[in-house]
Every structure is written in structure tokens, then in C-alpha cells.
Amino acid sequence: MIRADYAANPEQSLGRRYDEREPVYRTHFQRDRDRIIHSKAFRRLEYKTQVFVNHEGDLYRTRLTHSIEVAQIARAVARNMRLDEDLVEGIALAHDLGHTPFGHAGQDALNQCMKPFGGFEHNLQSLRVVDELEDVYADFDGLNLSFETREGVLKHCSLKHAADLGDVGERFIHKTQAGLEAQLANIADEIAYNNHDIDDGLRSGLITLAQLCEVPIFAQVYEETISQYSQLSGTRLTHEVLRRLINLMVIDLTDASTQAIETAKPQSIADVRQQAKPLMRYSDAMRQSKTQLKQFLRQNLYMHPKVYRMSWRASRIIEQLFDAYMNDRKLLPAEYQQALPSDQGSGEELHARRVSDYIAGMTDRYAMREYGDLFDLSKM
Ligand code: MG
């Protein structure tokens, strides 16, 4: 395959934070992807919630299976558009490494707890995992990934944090774009979760096919499927509808992005970065359909009373663990009792940052076990 001129090129990478020998028989982006797969944070994704708490059922998505689905979608588009598949795969596999236990409820609760200390953003935390927190290499902290992978992992961050991030923060200050692989991983994330949350939502019984047909694009694909397979039902029907829906989105994304590239004519990744808007995009019609689908999921699944109760309980666990570790650092494992050498701030801020590192790194079941350990005093 011939790489497109506007794709990221591992031989022209903007480099790593610490100099290293050139990889042998692998590109820089392959090495990044391989390091991500061998990281501790990657293995923990298996036991972290996407929407449903990890122990609720074996068929629901976890952050690990979600990340693999994102990588699958992103790689398919990357190959078709002659982008760097290894880079997009690495970004996809790493994009959720900074997520707390208990999905968005956990992230919101930890952000609340961290408000007085600069807040908690999961994208920033994903970057922190790959830049600082992984601690298995002899020569450096973190995974020492290439700039292009790191900018994709960061995805977004608030302006107030961008200034502290050095090279990967600059694009938020100068309002430039990330490379196409980073843009693609971001949209593949959305395609994956919108579709698998429908699947998990139906499996759980919290939403129904009839309800989903309120969403025009879903109704359209559902009608098509039923007219072809009138007898189909259950998980085969759901799967058949969802595979068509994913396909529609992927094809739309590929066509609309290819068209945007043909119009803008970027000759290099530098040209891609200078665009006013991301070149990876849906058509206007698909963007509208996607928004309707997201609204449906927010109202009917993420805010469902059962999910809401689970989220409420998760928030209490995070808050109480946070308070306990803030008030008594001896409850933390020894390595979290110390600030990182690279961190700056007052003593309390530094301590809070380590508490949030510890909590964010927990899996769902680890957090529940730790909560029981500290607060269920009947178990001695
Ligand atoms: Mg994700």
C-alpha cells in the first residue's frame, strides 16, 4: 500500500520525549502500539465499565472490548484512505487508558472531588498514563510514545490545561488540528459506542427495538432488515441491524472525509494540521442522524433509572474513597504516598493528584473491594 501524502509517516515522526534507539523490523508507530498492548493500564481495561458495571453480565462491553472495536473500525477506514493503520490502532487501544472505574459516573465523581485541585479529565489522564504513570521501563517513566500517538490519546483538553502540556497542548492554544489518524480514532470511538450501547441496552432490556425506531436512521435500517428477513428476531435481528448501521456510518465517514480531503488538497500532515476544521468528518445528514441517536441514548439508556441508581452508588464509592485517602495518606499504597517528581503545586494538590491517580487506575471490582475493606467494619 502506498501511504497518502497527508498521512502520518513514522519516519518523519515529531519524535519521543526521550531519545531511544531506532526500532528494528518495526516502525515507530508499531512500537507504540506494541507498548500500549503490553502496558498494565491496558490489561485493567478488561475490568472497567463502559455503561454496565463489569460484573453485571459477561456479554456487556468493557473498556477493553470497546477499545478493540474502536481499533477495528479505525483500521478499516485507515486502510481504505491510505492512512497509517498502526498509528490509528495504537491511539484506539490507548484512548481510554485514563478512564476511572464505573464509566462516566466514576469520571464525573472524581472530577467533582478534584475540583479544588485542578479537576480530573479522563483524556488528560490517558496521556498521563502513557507519559508518566506506567513504570516498567528501565530508562524512563511512561511508555515514551511518539508525538503522533500522544496527540491522538489526548484527543481534547481544556485550554487551562493545554499550556502545561508542552508540545501536545499547543494545538489547543493555536487552534490547529491533530493528524488524520487522531481525528479518525476519535470518530471511530463514537461509532463504536453508539452502536454497542444500543446492543448492550437491548440485551439488558432497558431499551426496546420499538423505542429505538423513534430514531429515524435506526427505523430506516430496521425496516430494510425486516423487509429482507421477515422472520428474524432476537439477537440475530439486533446484530443484523447494527452491522448495517455501523457500515452506513463507516461508509459515510469515508466518503465525506475523502471529499473534504479532495477539496482541501493537503500535501502533508502539516497541511492537515493547519486546516480550520478536522478533515475526517461525516456528511451533514449523518451528523444529524448521529446526534439524534446520541440524544436517544442519553435520555433512554444513560439516564435510565436503573443506570442512574448504579451511577449514584458508584459516585458514593469514589467520593468516600477519595475522602479517606485525602484525610489519611497511610491508607494509600506506599508508591502513591509520594508525589511524582514531574508534578508541581502545593503539598495538598500534589497529594490529591496521587489520590486521583490511584482511584482512576482502579478497576470496578478493585474499587468495590477496597470500599468494602475500608467501610464495611463488620468484616475484620
Ligand atoms: Mg472510548
pLDDT in tens, 365-377: 999 999 999 998 8
Q: What is the mean pLDDT of residues 51-65?
A: 79
- Rounded to the nearest whole angstrom, what is the distance from the C-alpha of residue 245 to the centroid of ligand 1? 18
Task: Report the first-to-last Cα separation within the chain, whole angstroms.
Answer: 62
Name the residue with higher pLDDT: 146 or 156: 146
In whole angstroms, give the CA distance from residue 373 to residue 99: 23
Please check the confidence at residue 299 and state whether its pLDDT lies above 90. Answer: yes
Least confident of 81-90, 118-127, 268-277, 337-346: 337-346
- Rounded to the nearest whole angstrom, what is the distance from the C-alpha of residue 67 to the centroid of ligand 1? 6
- Rounded to the nearest whole angstrom, what is the distance from the C-alpha of residue 24 to the centroid of ligand 1? 31
- Rounded to the nearest whole angstrom, what is the distance from the C-alpha of residue 191 to the centroid of ligand 1? 10
Name the residue with higher pLDDT: 14 or 54: 14
Place of cell 513504570: 135
- Rounded to the nearest whole angstrom, what is the distance from the C-alpha of residue 31 to the centroid of ligand 1? 22
How large is the angle between the packed helices 180-204 and 85-94, nearest 10 degrees?
50
Query: How would residue 55 be classed by pLDDT, with cut points 50, 70 and 90?
Result: low
Please check the confidence at residue 137 and state whether its pLDDT lies above 70. Answer: yes
Mean pLDDT of the chain: 94
- Rounded to the nearest whole angstrom, what is the distance from the C-alpha of residue 198 to the centroid of ligand 1? 15
In whole angstroms, give the CA distance from residue 58 to residue 180: 34
Least confident of 64-73, 124-133, 172-181, 215-224: 172-181
Query: How would residue 164 be classed by pLDDT, with cut points 50, 70 and 90?
Result: confident
User: Do residues 339 and 121 lie in contact, with contact meaning Cβ atoms separated by under 8 Å?
Assistant: no
- Rounded to the nearest whole angstrom, what is the distance from the C-alpha of residue 95 to the centroid of ligand 1? 6
**Which of 192, 238, 206 is closest to 63 using CA atoms?**
192
Please check the confidence at residue 50 and state whether its pLDDT lies above 90. Answer: no
Q: Which residues lie closer than 8 Å to 301 by C-beta, 6 or more apart?
A: 51, 197, 201, 206, 207, 307
User: Do residues 144 and 17 lie in contact, with contact meaning Cβ atoms separated by under 8 Å?
Assistant: yes
In whole angstroms, give the CA distance from residue 208 to residue 201: 8
Least confident of 45-59, 61-75, 83-97, 207-221: 45-59
Q: What is the mean pLDDT of residues 150-158?
A: 89
What pTM value is reported for the model? 0.96
- Rounded to the nearest whole angstrom, what is the distance from the C-alpha of residue 263 to the centroid of ligand 1? 30
Q: What is the pLDDT of residues 213-232, one digit of tens each?
A: 999 999 999 999 999 999 99
User: Do residues 272 and 66 lie in contact, with contact meaning Cβ atoms separated by under 8 Å?
Assistant: no
What pLDDT, on a 0 to 100 scale, did the predictor assign at position 54?
62
Bridge partner residues of 49 (DSSP):
62
Please check the confidence at residue 296 and state whether its pLDDT lies above 80. Answer: yes
What is the percentage of the chain residues whose pLDDT exceeds 70? 99
- Rounded to the nearest whole angstrom, what is the distance from the C-alpha of residue 362 to the centroid of ligand 1? 17
- Rounded to the nearest whole angstrom, what is the distance from the C-alpha of residue 88 to the centroid of ligand 1? 14
- Rounded to the nearest whole angstrom, what is the distance from the C-alpha of residue 290 to the centroid of ligand 1? 16
- Rounded to the nearest whole angstrom, what is the distance from the C-alpha of residue 96 to the centroid of ligand 1? 5
